[in-house]
Amino acid sequence: MERPRTIVFDLDGTLYEDAAIFDIYAREMASFLPAERRDRFLADWDEAKVGRGVAAIGLGYDRTSDRLFHFEDNRITAWLDWSGSIAPALVENVAALEDEDHVEQDVPAAPIFSNGRFNIGDMWWLPAAIAAHHGLTNEQQERAFLATRAIMASDSYRVEPVPGVRETLDALTSAGVVLIALTNSPAETTADVLRQIGLDDMFAAVRPLAGKPAGMTRFLRETDAPRPLLSAGDNYVNDIAPALQAGDSALFIDRHDLGLGAASPRYIRVRSVSAMLQTLAEWT
């Protein structure tokens, strides 16, 4: 792969790794649930975070039907109930498939991640899906998320940098590569995390509240950053698929071994932030 002239980094799970924060997030969400649901939610979360639950990274979740689903590209391929069994297709999906042959080819399909559906693309979304199954509302989830971010920004919490991350990014900058951070996190917490991991002065641009994946697609279409461009992240739907669809390159931190995008050109797959840094070091 040709050395990129611009690298767009995700933040959480890409420029640092911190598994402890997800238990804090789960406890914040649990605080909004009645006691009997709270205990069941936390038990389900304990199973899911070690890979033994029905909900898992790589699935989608639909709030309206309270179902999980498999997907490929922009199509739902199978619905799951919370026992892990294949569930009947929703009426709207049957209609969509029946009408597919009659739709103009140049009319894009509606995105599957909208109207109450979200991608369980990383560890932030795994407890959120389980909590929603147990009755947590969108508003309560947002309040729990902001409370968790406030804890991350407090004096009592410390986000530890991955060894070598600043040195690698500094070497890339010295080699003339433009570095950009694009994250869905709020501006204040983004700035605080970057400060904690020593990267607050490293980027040509930092864009919080990016609204990925749609925000990534929009950024790639509108940016005047020099090409070739590489998107690096740990959420395939948010960070990787939009770049590949735009004709750019991507580096996927596939720590959950999903294997997505394996046949794509202009694509690198690694298993950790440390492995990402080793790959990036080749371009310094």
- C-alpha distances (whole Å) from 3 to each of 167, 172, 176, 205, 268 are 18, 10, 11, 20, 12
Which region, left, alpha or beta, applies to residue 267 given φ > 0 means left and ψ of -120 to 50 means alpha? beta
* pLDDT by residue, tens only, the chain of 284 residues: 889 999 999 999 999 999 999 999 999 999 999 999 999 999 999 999 999 999 999 999 999 999 999 998 889 999 999 999 998 876 555 445 444 444 445 555 678 988 789 999 999 999 999 999 999 999 999 999 999 999 998 889 999 999 999 999 999 999 999 999 999 999 998 999 999 999 999 999 999 999 999 999 999 999 999 999 999 999 999 999 999 999 999 999 999 999 988 888 899 999 999 999 999 999 99
- Supply the pTM of this predicted model: 0.90
What is the assigned CATH class of domain 6-17+161-281?
alpha beta
What's the one-letter identity of residue 145? Answer: F
Closest alpha carbon to 234 in 263, 258, 211: 258
Locate the domains of the chain by residue range: 6-17+161-281, 20-153
